[in-house]
Structures are given as structure tokens and as C-alpha cells.
A and B are shown apart, each in its own frame.
Chain A
């Protein structure tokens, strides 16, 4: 029993990363109808930037992390301006390819700027793991959990209570109508990319100490975050968070009980396939859009 509870907790710990990446992807997909394949690399770049500020330049951890998030936000802004805005209204495929191009460029830049060796990212809160009722809880994950709750609360407040959040939701629902109502599409798109990449940057930095800084250290997380978003229906923010946690937990149990480690590796993809075949709109999607002829 205790072992299973421990698996559950570890699963949720890992799942948070998937949730955050999924959240960032869905945020962009909902508003600019783009799928950001560069999300993982951008988040990783933020991790490297924070490392450079903290370790090389000796900034305090917190300020270095903020610096990394700012870098991520700037990357989002640049990507939106260079790759997405010129393609507004283009088919999804073109937008996907554009972000793949950005990914290729950024991955190359990361390698040139930061090298290929593995680096240990300092932890924000050094010390042993906590033990609660015999369950092991990583010290870093306490911080990660708190930050995640802040992100979710902030996002919920922004979307539900602020004028801009309402504009964003209107835009996600019907770009054309929103534009007619005087909501500037360029601004919405820009802000959404900045928000999404801030979440990405935070994820990249928070998980850097656990995954170690190395080239493409966020790409595995990216694939799983992507899965989380699909499981959640790709247009539901809450769905992608739940999808990420579900995936993390399933993965933890799979690693323990699956006949071979490869099965655990295949799990996220199998999960996508099953979800797509049974419920093409995602587990947490509500209702189906009526098609007009």
C-alpha cells in the first residue's frame, strides 16, 4: 500500500512538469492556432540562461531564475514576431513547420553558446527530502508544487477576471468576431506567446536541477507535455493539467510494474493513441462542435 502511495506521489511530482508544458502548449494553440514544437528547446534555453546568470555571473538563485524567465519571454516574443505573425491564418501545418524551424535554429544556438557537456544546476533549496508518514517527498518538488499553484491561480485570475483575459477567451472562441469587436489579434497573440514561454521558462528552470542541464534536456518533457495536452483535449487548460498528472502517475506505475522499461517509454504514445481512437476530442473535452455545411 505504502509503496503504491509512494508511486502516486512520485508520479504526481513528475506529472507537474508535463502539466506545465501541456498548459503552455494549449495556451498557444487556443489563441494562435499554432503548435509550438520549439517549446521544449525554448524552456531548455531558459534553463541554460539562468545557469549562466547564477553559476557563471554569481547572481542570487532567485534573480537568476527571473532572468531566465525573462529570456524565455523574449524568445516567445521573437518567435511570435518572426515565425507566427507572418503566417496568421495559414494552415496548422505551416505553423508547425515554422516552429520546427525555430526549434532547429535555437537548438543549434544553444549548442554553440553553452556547449555540449552536462552541467549540474544548483538547487534552490538544498537538503534532504522530506518524509511524511513514510512517504518520500522531494524538497525541490515542494517549491515546484507551490510555484505551479501560483501559476494556475494567476492564469485563472487573468482569464476569468481581467479585461484582457476575457478578450483572449473571446479571441480563442472566434478570432474573426473578436477582431470585429476591436480586439487586436497581434496583441493577443503576442501576450499569449509571452505568457506561454514564461510558463515554459519556469518549467525549464525548476526542473533543471532534477534533469541536469544538457542539450535537449527538455525534449522528453516536451513530448510528454504534448501527450498531456492531447489527453486533455488540447483546448482545455484544466484538462491538460489533469492529463499531465495522469500521465505522470501512469508512468510511475508502469516503470514499477511493466514487463520491460521499453513499455514505460512507450506509455505516453500508447495513451495518445488510445485517447485519440476512443475519444478524438480528449478525455476531458466537453461536447462536440456542430459542423455546418
Chain B
């Protein structure tokens, strides 16, 4: 499959480039901008508005749709841009470029300052907090006469001046929109977008592969603030007088509603939403009296019938047409075949020899080249040998309940340890304590690092990786994307290069995807690599969870009930495959499992937890004969 990528000719790449929506979309937008220059003043004003609100919308897609943070105060950032424009025009001769730069700088600073505390909030409280900020910002505008001109406002020119030349706003709007969309779409398909999607859909799982949850969320907030400010600069030129009155809470709410109407996870949605919310009402001035009713009814219909907005409705229609013409049905059948093939494939692959594995490009016992420029995809390979994990008196308290009580044990480097115990014994809680998802007392050391009080991120960097009992998959994402999420820490590039999709970024992404497909092939998932993971059968979902953990290249892999819910032979095959991979690299492994026979077969050492305390540890043979263990399991 890798050869197909390599053999692509320059011609086919050029064709792909032209076929990409980023390219023809931008061309189309700029063409509309040029065309609209010839419209009458009012119509071209409306087109400019739709364009500038789509810029704001692109930021809100990133924030609301992708990162899952709700803001009801973004009019404040639009105001930052608008007042940057008026002040730069009043006090300097920098022109439009200066206005944009000032707007970006101010909005990034303010956006970060506001984004940081808002991290503490989620859902309802974030909405309320941003609403309050939006309102407070408006009051500041009314009172800060020097900068805003108070309630009277400040004038802005209709013309956009770049290097002493005047350009019509509608053209500039179109160009700015095209640039913004390309930048945001690059972010969305790069590691930043992937990380934000991962955080939104399963936050603990994202943290467990080393995604910096807090930093990414603030980043999303800041980027959306910057885009809103850029929209604000254009807005000032469009309305020509900037007054605080405009930046009301209602305006903020309308901005967020715009992306919901269009489709909150799609940039096309930002454009359609903008056209719908700001363009359409201008066309229906005759029903001004009924505006609220018409708007409300349509909004309600969209929210109730198509949660993904106009774009979602469009997609549904396309699927429906395909089904009617028979093409859809074929696809469904094809998927069923894929799944059958995938379910069968693991057993076929099971007796792979260690030699075959070491030959595979993603598994190598040799340390990766440290500078990251090593050949092929070696730096993405599973190369990290394990270290010695030592737990001493680790305890976890939930309120008054002691879930884990003074547990001490050691897992040697490269060893496979089992953690067994009845339901409620505290096994998963202990995993959560080791990975830092819950607070614990006592000491946890890994190799020579003391991780007792370390953050989740630091523990991931030390080499902790895990699977989840409830799988914690990312809704709507494919197995390939799951693996790339897992590899987040290892697929790195400069964020500015990411925005412009610099060739090195594209190359890195291609390599990472190739690695992902190879890893999925080793777990028998190639047939379904591009299907929605959360819609796959349970057994395959489990493998996706394991693949994500493996992709994070752990030194210590923690598997939480890898066999639960699987038929015996499938569970055996999956675990054997994982242990083959980890034995090549010498990764340490801890397995939580109820299936004692399975544990006895694969683990060299077993710890037994009961009611939060360690009641036995030792080689499986001695554990099986231990009276206390038998008692805990069977009840005396």
C-alpha cells in the first residue's frame, strides 16, 4: 500500500491539487469578490458582510464545532478588530495591513488572557462566562472614550487602503475569507485539528496519549478570537461607523447561531451560515415585520431536524439520492464484507513470527534516530524499551472511601504483569492513579523518574500509555485517525508550517498515515481503516483502542480488560499480537483482566487486588494456589 503513495506521478498530484476544495473554493470565492465589485453599492455591501462573517464563522467552527467550547461573547473580539481598524486609520498611515496586524496582536493577547481562566469552565458555565464577558466588554466600549469614542463611536472609511492604493471592500473581503479558510482548513486536517477533535470527543483518552488538553483549548479560543478580530476590521469598513451599541449579547449569540445553522464542524457551514443569517434577511426586507418569526421558525426547524445544519442536511440528501440510485446499498454491502474480512483477519495473522515483525518498518528494537530526520518512518516506530515501574504505598481516596489502599509492587522493565481482582477491587482506579487521571498519595517511580506528583502529560512523556475499559473512542473518527491521535506526540511540526501546509508538514502527515495503516494491518484492521470506528463491531473497536495506545509508543503499556466482551479465541489472538509487538521492543505491560487463565498464560507475574488492598503477588502458579486469592474470587 505504501508503494501506491510513492508511485504517484507529478501529474496526478497536480490534478489532486486542483481537485481539492481548498483550491477551487478559494478561486471561486475570489471570483465572486471580483464579480460583486460590479454590483450596486448595497448588493456588494451585503456580499462583503457575508464574506466577513464567514471569516468569523471559520473561527467559531474551530472553537464551537471542533474544540467543543461554546462562546456567547465573540462580538467582543469583532469589536477588538473594528476599533483596531478605526484607531489605526485615525492615528497612523499604516493602512489595512496595519489594521489587521494590530487587530491580530490585540485579539491574540486578549483571547489568551480570557481563554486561560475559561479553561476552568465547561458547557453551561463557559457559555455564561463568555456571555458575561461579552456584556462587560460592551460596557467598557461605552466608557473608554479615548479608544472607542464612547457611545458616539468612531468613523471608518469605506475604502480599504493597501500601500496607498484603494481597493473595494468586497474584493478584500473575498481574499481575506479565502486565506482564512485555507489556513483554518489546514489546521483542521493537521495535528492541531486532530487534537481538538480528540479532546472534544474523549477528553481523558486525549490526555492519555499526551495531547495538551488545556493548551490546545486556549489555542482554539485564541485562534477564533483572532479570526473574529480580522472579521471585525472588515466590519468597520463595511458599516463605516463603529459604535458600542452594535456589539451586544444578541450579536454574539447570532454569531454562534450562524455556525450552528450552517453546520458547526464544516467550513462550508461557516459560509452557508453567514449567507443565511446575514445575507438572506437583507433580501427579505419586505417582510421586516415578520422577521423574528421567520428567523425563529427556520432556526427551530434546523436545530430539530438537522443537528449538523445546512451542510448536514445536504449530506443527508446526497446519501438519500445515492440510496435511491442503488449506489448507497452497494456501499453498505461492501462495508459488511469489510467487517467480516477484518474479523477473520486477526486469526489469520496470528502466527506471525517475531522475525516478520521486526522486518515490519514500524517495529524495531533499535532506538530511533533522535534528531527526527531518520530515514523513512523510523521515528514513528514502536521503539521504546520499557523501564522498571515501582509503586510504593499508593492510595486513592474518593471522599471518605479508600478505593486503593497502600498498594506497593514492582513491574520489572520489559515484564508482563497481570492485575486481577473481583469487581470493585480498585483495579481501574489504580490505573487512573498511575496515569495521573486521579490524585493519589504514595510514590510512583518509573526508571529513575519520580512521577508521584507529575501531571498526566508528564507521565505520558515518561512513557505511560493505556487502553480504556469503556474504550473511550472518538466519535465519528476512523481507525486511522485514532492511531494518528495516539501518535500525537510523535507527529510533530511547526504550527505556522501547519497553517500553510508546508511540504514538510504534508510529508510528515503522509508518513504518519502510512505508519498508522501498517499498525492497523498488524491488528487486522486494514479492511476497516477508513470506516467510522464507533460504528464498528465491539471486537474491532477494542482493537482500535489498543492501536491508539500502541501508537503513543509507550514504555509501559497498561491494558484495561483487553479480553472482556470478546470470544476467547479472538481475545487470545489480540493479546498475543499485542504482546508479540511489545516483546520485540521490550515494553513493560500491565494487564487488568478477569480471565484468570488468560492472565496465567501470558503474565510472568500477577498482582491481586481485593477491596483496594494488594492481597497477593507472585508468579501465576503460586497465585492460583493462594488461599486468600481463592477466597476473594469464590468467597469462602
Contact = CB atoms under 8 A, between A and B. Distances in A.
A and B: bona fide binding partners: yes
Contact of A105 (B64, B289, B296): B296
A265 B297 contact: no
Contact of A277 (B117, B124, B253, B292): B117
Interface in A101-141: 101-109, 111-112
Contact of A262 (B128, B139, B292, B432): B139
A192 interface: no
A255 interface: no
A21 interface: no
Contacts of B303: 83, 87, 94, 97-98, 101
Given A104-B296, A280-B121, A112 B289 contact: yes
A100 B253 contact: yes
Interface in B260-303: 260, 289-293, 295-297, 299-300, 303
A262 B121 contact: no
A293 interface: yes
A271 B611 CA distance: 45
A105 B293 contact: yes
Contacts of A106: 296
Nearest to A87: B304
Contacts of B257: 97, 100
Nearest to A282: B125
A82 to B, nearest CB: 7
B437 interface: yes
Contacts of A273: 129, 132-133, 136
B247 interface: no
B142 to A, nearest CB: 6
B127 A96 contact: yes
Contacts of A111: 292
A90 B307 contact: yes
Given A87-B303, A96-B127, A270-B136, A101 B121 contact: no
A86 B307 CA distance: 11
A193 interface: no
Nearest to A104: B296
B292 A108 contact: yes
B143 to A, nearest CB: 5
Interface string B292-327: 110111011001100100000000000000000000
A105 B127 CA distance: 22
Contacts of B121: 276, 280
A272 interface: yes
Given A86-B304, A269-B132, A101 B299 contact: yes
Interface string B610-621: 000000000000
Contact of A276 (B125, B300, B398): B125
Given A83-B304, A109-B293, A97 B299 contact: yes
B70 interface: yes
A102 B70 CA distance: 20
B269 to A, nearest CB: 14
Contacts of A107: 292
Given A102-B296, A105-B297, A293-B204, A93 B128 contact: no
Nearest to B140: A266
A97 B300 CA distance: 8
A146 interface: no
B132 A82 contact: no
A100 to B, nearest CB: 6
A92 B123 contact: yes
Interface in B79-114: none
Interface in A269-293: 269-270, 272-273, 276-277, 280, 290, 293
A276 B399 CA distance: 23
A209 B133 CA distance: 32
B121 to A, nearest CB: 6
B143 A108 contact: no
Query: Which secondary structure dominates where chain A touches chain B?
Result: helix
Given A108-B290, A280-B125, A293-B204, A101 B120 contact: no
Interface in A127-175: none
B136 A101 contact: no
A54 interface: no
A83 B295 CA distance: 14
A234 interface: yes
Contact of B398 (A98, A223, A290, A293): A290
B135 interface: yes
Residue of B124, B132, B307 with most partner-chain A CB within 10 A? B132
Contacts of A230: 125, 128
Question: Which of A83, A93, A266, A290 has the most chain B CB atoms inside 10 A of its CB?
Answer: A93
B423 to A, nearest CB: 15
A293 B437 CA distance: 8
A94 B300 CA distance: 9
A57 interface: no
Contacts of B129: 272-273, 276
Contact of B143 (A86, A104, A260): A260
Nearest to B437: A293
A193 to B, nearest CB: 16
Contacts of A262: 139, 142-143
A45 interface: no
Given A87-B304, A97-B257, A103 B136 contact: no
B529 to A, nearest CB: 27
A35 interface: yes
A108 B127 contact: no
A253 B125 CA distance: 27
A45 to B, nearest CB: 13
B501 to A, nearest CB: 30
A273 B136 CA distance: 10
Contacts of A51: none
A106 B296 CA distance: 9
Contacts of A103: 296
Interface in A240-281: 260, 262, 265-266, 269-270, 272-273, 276-277, 280
A222 to B, nearest CB: 11
A100 B292 contact: no
A217 interface: no
23 contacts: A35-B127, A83-B304, A87-B304, A93-B70, A94-B303, A94-B307, A97-B299, A101-B295, A101-B297, A104-B296, A105-B296, A108-B293, A227-B132, A234-B124, A262-B142, A262-B143, A265-B139, A269-B133, A273-B132, A273-B136, A276-B128, A280-B120, A293-B438
Given A29-B124, A82-B300, 9 more contacts: A94-B303, A97-B257, A98-B303, A101-B295, A105-B292, A108-B296, A262-B139, A293-B204, A293-B468
Interface of A: 29, 35, 82-83, 86-87, 90, 92-94, 96-98, 100-109, 111-112, 223, 226-227, 230, 234, 260, 262, 265-266, 269-270, 272-273, 276-277, 280, 290, 293
Interface of B: 64, 70, 117, 120-121, 123-125, 127-129, 132-133, 135-136, 139, 142-143, 204, 253, 257, 260, 289-293, 295-297, 299-300, 303-304, 307, 398-399, 428, 432, 437-438, 468
List 5 tightest A-B contacts by C-beta distance, closest first: A108-B292, A105-B296, A104-B296, A101-B299, A101-B300
